[in-house]
Amino acid sequence: MNILILEDEIPAYKKLNHCLTQCLGTGFSHTLARSVEEGINALNACDSFDLIFSDIKLLDGTAFEIFDSVNSAVPIIFCTAYDEHLLQAFKTNGIEYILKPFSQSHIENALTKYKTLFSAKAIDKNILDDLRVLFTEKQKKYKRKFVIKKQNGILLIETNEIAYIEAFGELSKLIDTGGNVYIKSTNIGKLTTDLDPDQFFRVNRSQVINIDHVIKIAPHTKNRLSILMKGQKSTILTSSSTTKDFRKWLGI
């Protein structure tokens, strides 16, 4: 095995190296990187790493800066003293999260998990994507209320009450089932990421609809669909590029 170790503290590195030697004997080689810069250089210089052991905090930043900069499919076992980065770790190629101070058994168990997932018979190029999707789907909490700032105070609008959302420059318009319009100081792209994809769909470049408030869907010209929303007089049109995915989303 060829292992990349991202660790800024020498005592922690020596302990990890000792544990790996106890588990793997002479059956591994490794590269140590103590900073973000060294980690990026190591991954760019070598495409044969089988596994990464990574701390979160490095000398000049965090390990996530490395994984954001380098497109790598190498699985990662995180070894860190910080438990608040668990979700972010599994949004990378993380397969295990070990809290310091770790023991020999922690490293052995992590390596056993790696071997189980990435053995010659079980290896799947998409396994890391599957793990990330599974983990994030369980952890993701979608927006339940919108906070709208007004001159005379703050309004809390239930997400379920919104019929559709419309782009308004770098802002967004939230239109509820009664036709009331609220301005949210967030662009529609960012806003969409906070919405439940089973409930909201971006039907064109500038509009996102709430499936719970769709009254009628009818064919329109050029492979587009016309959508009438609850409490609205005018219809919303899908773009020709989203119609196919919208039909699939609806199951029609």
Rounded to 10 degrees, the C-alpha dihedral 182/185/191/196 comes to -40
CB–CB of 203/241 below 8 Å? Answer: no
Average pLDDT over residues 180-207: 91
Q: Which residue has the higher pLDDT, 118 or 242?
A: 242
Strand partners, 228: 216
Predicted pLDDT at 137: 52
- Is residue 121 pLDDT above 60, yes or no? no
Range of weakest confidence among 30-39, 115-124, 152-161: 115-124
Report pTM. 0.48
Predicted pLDDT at 94: 83
- Is residue 102 pLDDT above 80, yes or no? yes
Domain 2-139 part of CATH 3.40.50.2300: yes
Average pLDDT over residues 194-205: 92
Q: Where are the domains of the chain?
A: 2-139, 145-250
Domain 145-250 part of CATH 2.40.50.1020: yes
How much of the chain exceeds pLDDT 70, in percent? 88
Q: What is the mean pLDDT of the chain?
A: 87
pLDDT digits (tens, 9 = 90+) for 53-77: 999 899 988 898 998 888 888 999 9
DSSP annotation string for 31-88:
EEE-SHHHHHHHHHH-S---EEEE-SEETTEEHHHHHHHS-----EEEEES-STTHHH
pLDDT digits (tens, 9 = 90+) for 132-187: 565 555 455 788 888 888 778 888 999 999 999 999 999 999 999 999 999 998 89
Range of weakest confidence among 46-50, 137-141, 226-230, 239-243: 137-141
CA distances for 211 relative to 14, 155, 176, angstroms:
55, 23, 13
CA distances for 250 relative to 69, 210, 243, angstroms:
37, 12, 10
Q: Determine the Cα–Cα distance for residues 27 and 214; give it in Å rounded to an integer.
A: 61
Cα–chain center distance at 18: 33
Predicted pLDDT at 132: 58
Phi first, then psi, for residue 117 (nearest 5°) are -75, -35
Q: Which of 69, 24, 29 is nearest to 49 (CA)?
A: 29
CA distances for 118 relative to 53, 70, 199, 248, angstroms:
15, 21, 36, 33
CB–CB of 188/166 below 8 Å? Answer: yes
